[in-house]
Chains A and B, each alone.
Chain A
């Protein structure tokens, strides 16, 4: 396959960026998208040009490190697929492909296609956990959990924190990410004691970071590689309202 790439190149956080054109010739349809970029990078190095920086690690769709906007869509054209799992057979010989980093104020570009997603960590830090210190747990089978609840919690917990939801949202909102963690823990009995305070704390930090607000576009759900449902956002909103009314810690 012969492709024409337009790739966002930006030397550093404060540098001006530009779309740069590269010819990617002789690619195999069995390559992953990142392997195609590897081949381009190897050629660039031999030609004396610094390789395109992009984030990646596990390359099997679970670590959440990779992510780029491909032809205007976060993670590219294949549904429920991270960039690293996207393969070139999804494209045609002669295609032109536009590759950009996540675009969101909350995710500043560090270099080329690499962005800073530490705002996600700060949301989790605010309360995305059950406060149970090591050693004090009771026997795991003492608290039965209805299978349906456990399954739904697992659906939410499948989030890989890649940030595609934010990149796809016209408002740059982080509701899908935040709601997935609030729902994962809020659906389980172990998460009940802190359910309302957790929701308030995580939403407060989310709003302090540079994310926008959710106005129900549902673009997030469409690009989520783990198919996290926007139903969890409804759940987040309900828990948040409840927390404002009932949480004894609320002002």
Chain B
């Protein structure tokens, strides 16, 4: 299929305005005739549901959590970027656009990123008007900080809980629409399949996680705001429930999956402490503003960090990157830490850690100043590890954090299935091969508050007056039967291994072969192994209990089954992309300094994979990326 990204013509700064004029509108009296299904209530889903409700559409909104307020956007700590230039430090929409395309290592679509930078300023206005308690200066105006190596201060924040506050703002806007009767919320309800009929998305099939009821919902459009797939690695900073099922099932029904191998490893997480480890906890990378990262010079040095003299420490980021030092981008910092651990200089259990030391900063600024900046993070660290970071250096290590890949969408955020949209982390569009700090919140809210509400009408207007498909239609009942069959199969297998046992095994394989570094050899190993593991999962998984009740093992089993399929596609994509870019680092392709070496001539495209039913043989569709406004360069942080 020929991919049409539907990028508006004209100069980059005028594309979004042109699009808004060219897109068809649905008149206010007709909006109430449409029903839109939104899956997920994170920043993207909640903001979209609230805004579409305000516009007058009927919205049904689904989340697997017990409340819409708990979606994993809530855990974002650091902040949200916006090109307000309140600090008068040279920021602009164009600079945010430029930084984002460059930070994504030139693998994002220019037009989408420019639009993101344009609406970033509206997000801050909207959130402030909702009562989001952003940090302020004494004069009462909004405070900003520099984040993730940006050379301007454009990040807005609410202590270390920016995601929580923005999500509560969107959740509250959503609840206002629930009160107004425009939105119906379905909590504890998980989407298990997409219904496509005559080439268009017509509804979804869900399972009620409290009662086990499987049922269908018909809509005029379906919006997936279901987040990322980092939990394919088992250990990640994602919430335990975060999963790929909705997006994967949509992929199996015809939506192309783009750049699945683009995953982001966050450099500052608390290391694994034992084999019972259930998840990893991120420490805001703002810590790198004052903390210094080091390892002992000698491999295997097991002395306590405070006993290691200055002369026997290697501040390796400061040494290798004198200009950016500890503030190099996430992918660079992560790989550098892995290299130290691979060379035997890692610290802590299993040598999987490096020190992040605040001794200098405390000496320079005083403990009170450090406590004011990072107090809550230090407390969190101490609760988890039992160590006091005011006295001993923190131990940190990279962990899977965010997935840039996702469902392929056009400029209007529609997938390759007409009527199916994908917003926020679940789509692929804005971050290229690497996401910059404080950009995830921006994208989720940009899509939900400002982009989708303007673009979805164009599709709906073309289907004005058409009947919605009844859920009694065979298109729905066939898929309901399919879902019931899958559920029954999982319950009847009654094998010898638990779901988590399989998930850990898959996660470890993915971390080793398709994690921070990938090689053709390793990826081929993984591709040989995954189908075997998947086969064993379906033969030997043990899920107890019934389907007409709360059954958390059953929920997990369905999600892990889909992770097994996604994992194969990730490795295929990583093997196909025979270059390094951003978070995708192929060991065969690096500069003499060990940095990612892109191959723009052959890989300057989006890889959009089409499901053929045979997971080993998906079809590759390419969307070439044109850069008319940003000059392609080799990133350098020296």
Q: Which residues of A contact B (CB under 8 A)?
A: 11-12, 28-32, 34-36, 38-39, 42, 45-46, 48-51, 53, 55-65, 78, 80-81, 85-87, 89, 110-111, 114, 116-118, 120-121, 124-141, 143-147, 150-151, 153-154, 157-158, 160-161, 184-185, 188, 190-191
Contact = CB atoms under 8 A, between A and B. Distances in A.
B458 to A, nearest CB: 18
A45 B542 contact: yes
Given A50-B544, A114-B550, A129-B131, 9 more contacts: A30-B273, A38-B500, A45-B553, A125-B175, A131-B176, A136-B129, A144-B139, A150-B136, A185-B131
B70 A63 contact: yes
Contact of A150 (B74, B133, B501): B133
B130 interface: yes
B74 A58 contact: yes
B66 A55 contact: yes
A35 B277 CA distance: 7
A129 B138 CA distance: 26
Contacts of A133: 51, 54
Given A31-B276, A62-B161, A120-B67, A130 B130 contact: yes
Contact of B140 (A35, A63, A78, A146): A146
Contacts of B86: 141
A185 B158 CA distance: 15
A62 B74 contact: yes
B129 A138 contact: yes
Contacts of B168: 157
A124 B134 contact: no
B278 A35 contact: yes
Contacts of B164: 62, 158, 160
Interface residues of B, number: 82
B326 interface: no
Given A59-B240, A129-B175, A78 B126 contact: no
Given A35-B276, A81-B383, A144-B139, A188 B67 contact: no
Given A57-B239, A126-B179, A157 B69 contact: no
Q: Closest 8 CB pairs between A and B?
A: A144-B140, A129-B172, A137-B129, A140-B128, A137-B125, A154-B133, A57-B239, A111-B550
B552 interface: yes
A57 B241 contact: yes
A161 B129 contact: no
Contact of B131 (A35, A126, A151, A153): A153
Nearest to A115: B66
Contacts of B185: 121
Interface of B: 47, 50-51, 54, 65-70, 72, 74-75, 84, 86, 122, 124-131, 133-142, 158-159, 161, 164-165, 168, 171-173, 175-176, 178-179, 185, 187, 210, 237, 239-241, 273-274, 276-279, 281-282, 379-380, 383-386, 449-450, 453, 496, 498, 500-501, 542, 544-545, 549-550, 552-553
Contacts of B159: 154, 158
10 contacts: A58-B72, A85-B380, A116-B210, A117-B66, A117-B67, A129-B176, A134-B173, A139-B125, A140-B124, A190-B131
A48 B495 CA distance: 11
A130 B131 contact: yes
Contacts of A57: 65, 70, 72, 239-241
Contacts of B137: 147
B176 A64 contact: no
Contact of A53 (B65, B75, B552): B552
A65, A131, A140, most chain B CB atoms within 10 A: A140
B456 to A, nearest CB: 14
A138 B65 contact: no
A29 to B, nearest CB: 8
B544 A65 contact: no
B135 A184 contact: no
B549 A118 contact: no
A183 B136 CA distance: 18
A12 B385 CA distance: 36
Contact of B75 (A56, A60, A87, A157): A60
A147 B173 CA distance: 24
Nearest to A114: B550
Contacts of A160: 164
B383 A78 contact: yes
Given A128-B172, A154-B159, A118 B67 contact: yes
